[in-house]
A and B are shown apart, each in its own frame.
Chain A
Amino acid sequence: MTMAFDQVRYRSRRRRSALTMGLCWFATAVGISALLIILGTLLLKGFGGLGIGVFTQMTPPPGSDGGLLNPIVGSLIMTVLGVAIGTPIGILAGTYLAEYGRHSRLSSVVRFVNDILLSAPSIIMGLFVYTVMVAPMGHFSGIAGAVSLAVLVIPIVVRTTEDMLLLVPTPLREAASALGMPRSLVIKQVAYKAARTGMITGVLLAIARVSGETAPLLFTALNSQFFSTNLNAPMASLPAVIFQFALSPYAEWQKLAWVGALIITAAVLTLSIAARALSAKGSK
């Protein structure tokens, strides 16, 4: 093997490396520009329609102006209720996995099933709540919508609660137990306190996730053109109204759909950035 041959070979290896690394740069550029284009389109199409009227007026009939008050209120009610139902169950189940049954057989099954529910199609959860709540009740309702969101909240909270409790050092628990604290108090007063930031992050992420959910609400809360806080009746939600308005042929409705899309994206991204900032602070 001559020196010249090695040089050629070396150069071709260098070239190949430069080429593939260039493609990685390109891939990143593609990913980042996708985000920027989507956010840009939202701002461009939605920002012009943003005004005080959006938050004070009802959804209009086709051909007239209006706002998004009823779907915003509906979304808030169902999200708050869904999170209120799902969070305690999720925290308790996560506590079981991390504290009581860390190595038990039940835990490994629950952990596995929970991970599947975490990524399961949300529309399937909508169908499930439809068959167990809407069909027996005979009508669509806000409460069914909240339950379908709760079903989505549970796996997220279970996962983050377990992960965060596992990070709490065992000596802390042992110290509390040595002082004579019963198990439940050790968990509630010591472990929860140490893991608080992480658990709040989990709840914030769950709120961010479900507040943009549409599919499960379509068969549970349906939609409504009216202002309603009655949980036993169909209830409007921002995503469902965006779905209806965007696919309609009316210009006013489409414009409102973009405004709604902007509002919901801003809310969701703010929540997830807040959650990240919180967890970054907690990990320091």
Chain B
Amino acid sequence: MTAVTTSSPSNPSFDPSFDRDDRKRALAGLRFGDQVFAFFCRAAAIAVLVILSGVFVSLIGGAWPAFHKFGLAFFVTEAWNPVTDNFGAIAPIFGTLVTSAIAMLIAVPIGLGIAIFLTELCPPALRRPLGIAIELLAGIPSIIYGIWGLFFFAPFLQQYVQPALIKTFANVPVLSTLFAGPPYGIGILTSALVLAIMVLPFVTAVSRDVFDSVPAVLKEAAYGLGCTRWEVVRNIVIPFTRVGVIGGCMLGLGRALGETMAVTFVIGNAHRISGSILAPGTTISATIANEFTEAVGDMHTSSLLAIGLILFIISFIVLALARLMLMRLDVKAGK
């Protein structure tokens, strides 16, 4: 019945001329919508590039007065004096590099250990929950690490760990300087330890994923030859995944370099370079967080933007290398 009524010529929607106009209009509308949508997608993609170049341009613009005034000496001067308007970046750069380096020294072995545990040893039922627990460490906001570090971890280190370190290494030539007292609680080492906990999940997550990508056949072949578990990990899994593991570690390093709030709480904010890792210090991000809103003069603000630019360039290089390594791995896996 319906077929008869709809096909009857009296129905306006089947009037050929009406139909053509309608179609044209509808198609034009669709084509327009199509172009608008494609345009916006492209524009949004370009916006990502605009953000990155905007960061560079604004930081270079803001940092220019400081670089202009201090020149290359800015990179080697330890002074940081808002009163005399004399600024140098070496203390925060040193603090940033040292805290991140120590953090990586601790986080990489532990992170790899956890990744090996999760891929090789863990009972299957526990794999997912334990993996998620480690990943939750990455979800905890950095300010929480800061308040925890200041009120729980630093007093703990001050009371138990640091006195022991000072006493143990008092008569060992190099280490006695490295662990020279008094035990402040807060300082370079404390920041490094908190950073180590924070980057741990990044190292673990990437290493676990690349460890999982090792073909089971390879491992089974090694076991078949009589290899122990450690020998399989050492000679098969790690060589197979080396690039990915290094990429994951660099990703963690990128995080450690730029980490702000946690470090600001526990580093002690002292603009000097000390031989002891128990002493307070400062990092680029902690200096900016502490001083930016209270910067007294244009030169102070400009110097803070200048060290911000230095931090951005350092972490840009580290992250770019990490991505290039991980990309190389993707290409290899895609073949």
Contact = CB atoms under 8 A, between A and B. Distances in A.
Genuine A/B complex:
yes
A185 B35 CA distance: 11
A122 B258 contact: yes
Given A16-B228, A109-B49, A119 B289 contact: no
24 contacts: A21-B116, A27-B114, A28-B114, A31-B114, A38-B140, A89-B47, A93-B48, A96-B45, A113-B52, A115-B319, A116-B319, A117-B48, A119-B319, A123-B311, A124-B55, A128-B54, A128-B55, A131-B305, A182-B34, A214-B143, A218-B293, A247-B265, A254-B151, A268-B139
B308 A184 contact: no
Given A37-B152, A116-B52, 13 more contacts: A24-B114, A42-B144, A93-B41, A96-B41, A96-B42, A120-B258, A120-B312, A123-B285, A128-B51, A182-B34, A187-B37, A212-B144, A257-B147
Interface of A: 13-14, 16-17, 19-21, 23-28, 30-32, 34-35, 37-38, 41-42, 45, 88-93, 95-97, 99-101, 106-107, 109-110, 112-117, 119-125, 127-128, 130-132, 151, 154-155, 158, 182-185, 187-188, 208, 211-215, 218-219, 222, 239, 242-243, 246-247, 254, 257-258, 261, 264-265, 268-269, 272-273, 276
A127 B70 CA distance: 21
Contacts, number: 268
Contacts of B43: 92
Nearest to B228: A17
B143 A243 contact: yes
Interface string B180-203: 000000000000000001001000
B304 to A, nearest CB: 8
Contacts of A92: 40-41, 43-45
B99 interface: no
Given A24-B117, A110-B48, A215-B261, A100 B59 contact: no
A107 B45 contact: yes
Nearest to A238: B143
Contact of A31 (B137, B254, B288): B137
A42 B52 CA distance: 36
B91 interface: no
Contacts of A106: 42, 45-46
Interface stretch (B12-20, B82-90, B128-136): B128-136
A35 B58 contact: no
Chain B interface size band reads: 35 or more
Which among B45, B132, B142, B293 has the greatest number of chain A C-beta atoms within 10 A?
B45
Contacts of B112: 27
B228 A117 contact: no
Contacts of A17: 228-231
B152 to A, nearest CB: 5
Closest 8 CB pairs of A and B: A121-B258, A212-B141, A27-B113, A92-B44, A17-B228, A184-B37, A17-B230, A93-B44
B109 A27 contact: yes
A32 B130 contact: yes
Contact of B45 (A110, A131, A187, A272): A110
B59 A128 contact: yes
Interface in B97-116: 109-114, 116
B260 A258 contact: no
A38 B148 CA distance: 7
B315 interface: yes
Nearest to B56: A128
Mostly, the B contact residues are helix
B73 interface: no
A17 B229 CA distance: 6
B121 interface: yes
Contact of A99 (B41, B49, B55, B230): B41
B48 A13 contact: no
B113 A23 contact: yes
A37 B193 CA distance: 14
B160 interface: no
Interface in B282-310: 285, 288-289, 292-293, 305, 308
Contact of A100 (B41, B229, B319): B41
Given A120-B315, A121-B312, A257-B147, A269 B37 contact: no
Nearest to A247: B265
Contacts of A125: 55
B150 interface: yes
B117 A182 contact: no
A124 B139 contact: no
B270 interface: no
Contacts of A115: 319, 323
Contact of A96 (B44, B121, B144, B260): B44
A246 B132 contact: no
Which among B265, B293, B305 has the greatest number of chain A C-beta atoms within 10 A?
B293
